[in-house]
Amino acid sequence: MTRVAVTGLGPVSSIGTGAEAFAAALLAGASGISQIQSFDSSGFPHRNGGEVRDFDPARWLRRLDPQRWGRSSQFAAAAARLAADDAGLDLDSLDRGRAHAVLGTTSGESVVAEALTAQILASGFPGMVPELIEQLPAGRLAHAVSEELGLHGESLTLATACSASNYAIGYAYDLLVTGEADVVFAGGADSVCRWAHAGFFKLGALTETACAPFDRDRSGILTGEGGAVLVMETFEHAQRRNARIYAEVLGYGINCDAKHPVAPDRESISQCMRIAHRSADIKPEEVDYICAHGTGTPANDLTEARAVIEVFGDNPPPMSSIKSMIGHTMGAASGFGAIASAIAIDRGFLPPTINWQNADPELSGVDPIPNVARRATVRVVQNNGFAFGGNNAIVMLGAVR
Amino acid sequence: MSTLFISGFASISSAGMRAGALAERVSSGQAHPGVPVGSLYEAELPAADGHALTDFDVKTHLGRKGTSFYDRATALAVVACGEALANAHIEIDEETRPRIGIALGTTLGSFKSTSDFSMETLVQPKPYLVNPVLFPNTVMNCAAGQAAIRYGLRGANATITGGPMAFLNALRYAGNAINRGYADTMLVGAVEEFTPHRAWMTALSGKVPHPAGEAVAVFAVSTVRMAPVAEVLAIANGYGPGGQGSEALAGCVQRVLRKAHASAGDIRLHAITREAESGALAGTKIFRAAQHFGDCGAATGAIALASVLELHEAEPARDGELTLLTASTDDGAVGAAIIRGWSRGGADRG
């Protein structure tokens, strides 16, 4: 059976760009939250978000012309370039037809969509600018990666909302184990936008200042953004070029609640965990750390914790949410989770849940790794991703044995 | 990779939703000018005629319950998924439920839903005075999620983007899901709605020779050979960076011919999504779905395959013939698939 290695990490996030900066921020429990500037947030009662303030695509991109691509595509391509460099990949030596790009997203080119909407408001439908229309299709997120790195393999953007990166990593895993690929660039990207901020606020799911997953008084998410791409390759390919291997992708599970468009379902999530464990051929007691979906809404965290206890028993492994640091980066979220999981395995620490103050009696048994990172030997990680539409996806990563 | 069979399908397009409607329209051989679409929306449209199913009403098919907040793309997709399940005689029970999934192709979901929601943040007295019930419609996986809810399908559920490539992307994704054992049956399809947004974007892009159309086609795919109407012999998708789309497509066509153990001369029909693909298999009769149904974006490949399968149904003499489906995007994404089609029962008559 072909084994799948993670050999490069490319986070473009509000707490750091590049593997080194991102790992240091996770270890420090940094916060990337600030008052939103990319749109006029003054009319909103809640104004905080996780914007990548210093993102300068020209600094990272070598082939892609940022003018022709929307912000989410720029995030994707920059993250992929960073991941390729981190992996020490010589792109010229790749069999480019066996190198693929698989990205996940919730809202695609949301900033472009809002710019077009503003044009419709200002001057009617005929006022939409063709150059922007060209940038709108969500499929361009993966194409940006294929263009930037010169990849000839599949260029696929999966739009399964907030678990989309895990879907992408899962499909990448399949491309590698079925012999279709040597290397896959997999992850996700999304951009902060006004409509999602408004939607979550009106749903009562947007917190005011700080996201506090698993806290008794948690009150919701903060919208975030960024690009998260991992280089995944076969062990054979990685070993032939003496690559550093952060972690192994052990398998994954996906299923669908088929019940409610937005409310998570405990039974279905438990089932997804069991599917993932079976795929990875591991038992619950082998899991050392759960990188939680942990949005910080009362409903998600309760449902997720109960599903974990149902599968793992009363003493589940430690479970933290990096959304406390970077906000909910939507389609990139489980990509950042996978990067954090690989770093946890490689560097031997568990990222904390910051902003945590009070234990929630409803979540007894849950160890959220409050506020301070913890040194630990991490052999197996479960990276959770759940989504609107009931699209659950869980990726299992492990230390190389 | 084990062979994939299509055991049933359904479509909705400007030709209607009755089985055989596609074949009737295509058989005329003439490009279809569309129908008056002005009554669909208050907004001015770029042309009086377009390719929409103007009398489509989701309530007629699914009732009022649970459907009132569907957008047009969601309504089309959910109805077509139900029709495809029925056409393929798929039984849904507690045992099969977790093993039936959906792979649905799109360009970016319903841009109308997203843009209308975003518009509210601009025009309301306060930017947060949006209707939260409509928020899930702004997310691209709305249609596939609602179809899963409607029919209780708990298997792998994926929303696959790609514009004109979306259907081949979805077919490829679904084939993998089945072959890897994540699902036994996948509903594979693609949807695109007719809205002022799409009509105008299509007209303004200046790149599409046909007016905007709407369509959905959904196919029931599995490895079980039960009275199939088609067999997916091969599929290959790729990308040609730096403007090398044509070279990349030629490579995909060679790969599917090799995988299908076919030669170029075995292909009877070549269905294309964009004119740039017409040279990918010289000498083969070209089928342009957009001439008959308008530019159906993500649904172009799906409605093309549904048309071809209806032609098989109408003419058993075509049993066993091979069709090459190709697709591509402006950026350089490309794909090809080879399908063997039969009339109903034709696969078993030998």
A136–B contact, CB cutoff 8 A: yes
- As annotated, the active-site residues of A are 162, 293, 328
Sign, Cα dihedral of A292, A184, A283, A160: positive
Task: State the CATH number of the domain containing residue B39.
Answer: 3.40.47.10
Q: A277 and A151, same structural domain?
A: no
A336–B contact, CB cutoff 8 A: no
Q: How many CB contacts within 8 angstroms connect chain A with chain B? A: 262
Chain B, residues 178-207, CB within 8 A of chain A, namely: 179-180, 182, 196-197, 200-201, 204-206
pLDDT of A179-197, one tens digit each?
A: 999 999 999 999 999 999 9
Say whether B204 and A389 touch across the interface (CB within 8 A).
Answer: no
- Residues sharing a CB contact under 8 Å with residue B18, sequence separation 6 or more, in sequence order: none
Q: B157 and B10, same structural domain?
A: yes
Chain A, residues 374-393, CB within 8 A of chain B, namely: 387-391
Give the Cβ contact number of residue A68 at 10 Å: 15
DSSP A372: S
Q: What is the DSSP pairing of strand B333-341 with strand B322-328? A: antiparallel
Q: Does the pLDDT at position B348 exceed 60?
A: yes
pLDDT band at B237 (very low <50, low <70, confident <90, very high): very high
- Residues sharing a CB contact under 8 Å with residue A292, sequence separation 6 or more, in sequence order: A213, A214, A301, A304, A319, A320, A321, A384
Give kind and range of the element (H or E) at residue A97: none
Q: A327 and A229, same structural domain?
A: no
pLDDT of A101-120, one tens digit each?
A: 999 999 999 999 999 999 99
Q: B239 and B183, same structural domain?
A: no
User: In B, which residues are within 8 Å of A174 by CB distance?
Assistant: 176, 180
The full 3-state SS of A9-46, as one line of letters, equals: EEEEECCEECHHHHHHHHHHCCCCCEECCCCCCCCCCC
Q: Does the pLDDT at position A46 exceed 90?
A: yes
Last residue of some domain: B195, B222, B249? B222
pLDDT band at B73 (very low <50, low <70, confident <90, very high): very high
Q: Does some domain include residue B70? A: yes
Tokens encoding B140? 């691209």
pLDDT of residue B28: 87
User: In B, which residues are within 8 Å of A45 by CB distance?
Assistant: 128
Q: A211 and A103, same structural domain?
A: yes
Q: B163 and B286, same structural domain?
A: no
pLDDT band at B206 (very low <50, low <70, confident <90, very high): confident
Task: State the CATH number of the domain containing residue A303.
Answer: 3.40.47.10
Query: Nearest CA of chain A to the CA of B241: how many Å?
Result: 5
Q: B235 and B216, same structural domain?
A: no
- Residues sharing a CB contact under 8 Å with residue B61, sequence separation 6 or more, in sequence order: B79, B82
Tell me if B60 sits within 8 A of B67, measured CB to CB. Answer: no
Q: Is B129 exposed, middle or buried (0-12, 13-18, 19+ CB in 10 A)?
A: middle
Q: Does some domain include residue B266? A: yes
pLDDT band at A291 (very low <50, low <70, confident <90, very high): very high
Q: Does the pLDDT at position B1 exceed 80?
A: no
Distance of CA A397 to the CA centre of its chain: 14
ipTM of the complex: 0.98
Say whether B200 and A121 touch across the interface (CB within 8 A).
Answer: no
Full DSSP string of A130-194: HHHHHH--TTHHHHHHHHHHT--S-EEEE--GGGHHHHHHHHHHHHHHTTS-SEEEEEEEE---H
Give chain A's mean pLDDT: 98
Nearest CA in chain B to A46: B128
Q: What angle do CA B277, B282, B283 make, to 5 degrees?
A: 125
Q: A189 and A310, same structural domain?
A: no
Interface test with B, best of A103, A155, A176 (most B CBs within 10 A): A155
Mean pLDDT of B267-271: 98
Residue B186, beta-bridge partner list: B101, B221
Look at the block and give the residue holding tokens 């007894």: A364
Q: Does some domain include residue B349? A: no
Q: Does some domain include residue B276? A: yes
Q: Which range of residues forms the domain containing residue B321?
A: 230-341
Last residue of some domain: B199, B222, B245? B222
Look at the block and give the residue holding tokens 């902060």: A192
A165–B contact, CB cutoff 8 A: no
pLDDT band at B217 (very low <50, low <70, confident <90, very high): very high
Q: What angle do CA A67, A130, A149 make, to 5 degrees?
A: 35
Residue A163: how many CA atoms within 13 Å on its side-chain side?
35
Q: Does the pLDDT at position A155 exceed 80?
A: yes
Q: Does some domain include residue B146? A: yes
User: In A, which residues are within 8 Å of B198 by CB distance?
Assistant: none
User: In B, which residues are within 8 Å of A201 by CB distance?
Assistant: 128
Q: Does some domain include residue B264? A: yes
Please tell me the distance from the alpha carbon of residue B138 to that of residue B123, in angstroms, as a whole number.
Answer: 17
User: In A, which residues are within 8 Å of B156 by CB distance?
Assistant: 254-256
pLDDT of B318-347, one tens digit each?
A: 999 999 999 999 999 999 999 999 999 888
Q: Does some domain include residue B141? A: yes
Q: Does some domain include residue B346? A: no
Tokens encoding B24? 């009737």
Query: Nearest CA of chain B to the CA of A349: how many Å?
Result: 33
Full DSSP string of B302-313: HHHHHHHHHHHH
Q: A41 and A8, same structural domain?
A: yes
Q: A82 and A215, same structural domain?
A: yes
Say whether A139 and B142 touch across the interface (CB within 8 A).
Answer: no
Q: A224 and A145, same structural domain?
A: yes
Please tell me the distance from the alpha carbon of residue A342 to that of residue A336, in angstroms, as a whole number.
Answer: 10
Last residue of some domain: B222, B256, B285? B222
pLDDT of A158-176, one tens digit each?
A: 999 999 999 999 999 999 9
Nearest CA in chain B to A268: B154
End-to-end CA, chain B? 24
Q: What percent of chain B has pLDDT over 70?
A: 99
pLDDT of A325-358, one tens digit each?
A: 999 999 999 999 999 999 999 999 999 999 999 9
Q: A69 and A126, same structural domain?
A: yes
The angle, 0 to 180 degrees and rounded to 10, between the axes of the packed helices A266-280 and A298-312 is 50
pTM of the model: 0.98
pLDDT of residue B350: 54
